Structure 1
Amino acid sequence: MSNLKNVLPPRIFEVVERAGISTFKQIMILSVWDIKKLTNLRTDDIKFLKNVAADYICPISHTCDKLLIENELRVKTGCVEIDELLMGGFRRGTLTEIYGESGSGKTLMAIQAAAHNSAAGCVFICTEDLFPVKRFAQMKHRFPNVSSKHDYGKNVYIEHITEAQNLLSCVRVSLPKLLEKNKPALIVIDSVAAPFRSEYSNYVQRAEDLRELAISLITLAQKYTLAVVCINQVTASFDGADNVLPTLGLAWSNMVSTRLWLKKTNQSVHISHLPMENREKFRNTEQSVVVRKLSVIFSPDLPNSSLKFIITSTGIQTVN
């Protein structure tokens, strides 16, 4: 009864109390007609009474996008516009694939994300080229109040692996040991395709190994609440308007939560058309820069959208 007294207007509370209605549950269960017989209140007052009771006892509701923000289930990419496209960044607990042709900016995007999350920590597994240390060092100039004394690579753990079985062993054995001692925000594999494209002739075994790799990565992502980003190569496609597809087939695709496509466009932008603060990121102020495109191909919680960007000395810069 005390709760009713604190919530209801005094006039309505006195009528309800005299009628013997003492709980919010009674107000919700009784029909409008039943309450009217007991209290002789007007229909509008009874509807108001039911609304107050419903608001009081109803649990707080949250939409999915608010839950994602509240639980911080995203890892920032280092580019504000890309984070907006991805509703906050790479989703923790899932596997995100970035695929595209050579030179489309796949590795750069991964390096930028690694640099941006260097304070929290990042694991970077290279299967093709060596880790681009100089490119990583350039990324620090994107940080506010950058300091030459700070070691931005201190929490970035790098591993070079060229064979599929070594990669599986790393993910099964070495990586869990590292994650027990450290709490990185991101795992990057660049690229996941290289070890599996070169040494396999038994495609059934390759499919099984890819599935094991993906399950192991997703398990680690969920257990340690981190994001996994895998760079993938492309293969030619002879149907549809798009002439490339990600490699590794359905065995791999079915394990990916979010797929992003990077590609070069036929468009270019002259340096003089960029904002002044962006022109300083190019050595040659007379040059034109190829515009690239990032597209969300599929995702459980993102719309199919895209944005255009260029590559500067300090990373990705979006353009209109």
Structure 2
Amino acid sequence: MSANPITGGFNTFSGSKYNANQIRPPVQYAKPGPFTKSKLLQDCPEADIRVLKDAAAKVVAQPVSALLQLSLSANWSHITTGCVALDRCLRGGIVTRGITEICGASGVGKTQLLLQLSLTVQLPRELGGLGKAVAFICTEDTFPSKRLFQLAKVFEKRFPDQKINYMGNIYIEHVLEADDLLKCVGVRLAKLMESLRIGLIVIDSVAAIFRTYNNYIKRARDMRKLANYLLYYTNKYQCAVICVNQVATVSDAAKETPCLGLAWAHLGRTRLKLSKVPKEVKINEDLFTVRRFEIVYSPETPNEVAEFMITGGGVVDVPI
């Protein structure tokens, strides 16, 4: 069985002077022109007005002026990336709202960043995490468990006071076909979300599944179905969702264009792009390639750019 979408219903108000057996007079709409209180409410029964005001008072527990002063993201959490430059760019880290897409060419560090996020999400909130586990779905290569083990040892040394079983809090699934992915996300992931505290859902990658479609109408339908599942989970469980996308060369002017077109781009909330910079940094006789982190679009952060490196200790800042 698949996860049920969030549904709502029409509420019936009690207290009106009309009962179920009486015919209610037709509504008299206000004439065109400036809306005034008298025009809007002159034909509305006083009992109905009182019921509406009482219902509104239960929903709006604060004055409107106080609500306008609240930040739209006041109740959203962030997962630190473990890199100061990237957190500064993201205003705190990956947000637990909507779908975040990470795109980039092969070898730019997408999976490395995902592995680090799989560890940081397990940290307590005071350290930038959520204290929750990870659901990691692989659609391309096998899961890099050896690299994760190396990073887990780094985190154990970095946070010696935190007794966290990093390797035991990551739940991995391998799928290769679109139908298997939808079944995994709609059925098996739903059961996992109900039984465990999952703070991060990762799909690496969506492009490997949907680029093989010949029927683009069906592809768009399946992508929407996948997005609906993921949005349901992030809304219900306050978790972050990250989907990896590949890039393709469309023209000489657009050599790294994210795959899957607008049909997928419109389903995501934030798009992040990773790329390599023709610059290297030497640390202890070792050369490390500098990489570029770019916010392509996001509703709460400006389109900023940061630089980072990938070392044996994970995703780190570029030394000054």
- Same-fold call, TM cutoff 0.5: yes
Does residue 178 of the first structure (1) align with residue 182 of the second (2)? Answer: no
**1:217 to 1:72, Cα distance in 2 relative to 1, 3 A:** closer
Over the aligned positions, Cα root-mean-square deviation in angstroms equals: 2.2
Aligned to 1:292: 291
Task: Tell me the alpha carbon deviations over residues 259-312 of structure 1, each in whole angstroms, 9 at most, x when there is no partner.
Answer: 0000011111122xxxxxxxxxxxxx3232111100000001110001011110
Instruction: Supply the distance in 2 between the matched residues of 1:189 and 1:99 (Cα, whole angstroms).
Output: 12
Matched, 1:192 2:206: yes
Secondary structure (helix, strand or coil) at the match of 1:201 reads: coil
User: Structure 2 counterpart of 1:130, which letter?
Assistant: T
Structure 2: tracts of 5 or more residues without a match: 1-63, 123-130
Q: How does 1:221-260 map to 2 (within 5 A)?
A: 221-238=234-251, 240=253, 242-260=254-272
Distance 1:318 1:290 in 2: 12
Q: Could you tell me how far apart the structure 2 residues matched to 1:251 and 1:135 are?
A: 33
| Alignment match, 2:140 | 128
Counterpart residue type for residue 251 of structure 2:
F
Match of 2:57 in 1: none
* 1:207 to 2:206 alignment: no
Deviation at 1:76, TM superposition (A): 2.2
SS at match of 1:138: helix
Whether the 8 Å contact between 2:76 and 2:95 is mirrored in structure 1 is: no
Task: Return the letter of the residue paired with 1:185.
Answer: G
Distance 1:148 1:302 in 2: 31
Instruction: Check 1:62–1:239 CA distance in 2 against 1; reply closer, same or farther (3 A cut).
Output: farther
Pair 1:105-2:117 in alignment = no
- Between the aligned partners of 1:194 and 1:147, the Cα distance in structure 2 is 39
Which range is displaced more, 128-137 or 231-240? Answer: 231-240
> Are 1:301 and 2:300 matched, yes or no?
yes
C-alpha deviation, 1:90, in angstroms: 1.2
Instruction: State the alpha-carbon separation in 2 of the partners of residues 145 and 315 from structure 1.
Output: 14
What secondary structure sits across from 1:301 in the alignment?
coil
Q: Structure 1: which 5+ residue stretches go unaligned?
A: 1-56, 272-284
Match for residue 78 of structure 2? Answer: 74
The secondary structure found in structure 1 opposite 2:197 is: coil
- Which residue number corresponds to residue 94 of structure 1? 98
Q: Which residue of 1 aligns with 2:69?
A: 62
Post-superposition shift, 1:211? 1.3
Q: Secondary structure at the match of 2:166?
A: coil
Partner of 1:216: 229
Distance 1:125 1:93, change over 3 A: same
**Pairwise CA distance, 1:72:** 4.4
Identity %: 42
Cα deviations by residue, 1:85-142 (Å, 9 ceiling, x for unpaired): 1111111131000000011000001110001123411110011111111111122213
Larger radius of gyration: 1
Distance 1:58 1:136 in 2: 48
**How far apart, CA to CA, are the structure 2 residues paired with 1:134 and 1:73?**
29
Q: Answer yes or no: is the 8 Å Cα contact 1:259–1:296 preserved in 2.
A: yes
Structure 2 CA distance for partners of 1:61 and 1:195, relative to 1, 3 Å = closer
Aligned length: 247
**Do residues 268 (structure 1) and 280 (structure 2) align?**
yes
CA distance in 2, matches of 1:212, 1:113: 25
Instruction: Please give the secondary structure, in 2, of the residue aligned with 1:157.
Output: strand
Q: d(CA) in 2 for partners of 1:287 and 1:81?
A: 22
Equivalent AA in structure 2 for residue 222 of structure 1: N
Q: Which structure is higher in helix share?
A: 1
Residues 1:235 and 1:181: Cα distance change in structure 2 (over 3 Å): same
The answer on 1:169 being equivalent to 2:176 is no
Q: 1:236 to 1:89 in 2, by over 3 A?
A: same
* Contact 2:85-2:308 at 8 Å conserved across structures: no
What is aligned with 1:317?
Answer: 316
Q: Is the 8 A contact 2:79 2:120 kept in 1?
A: no
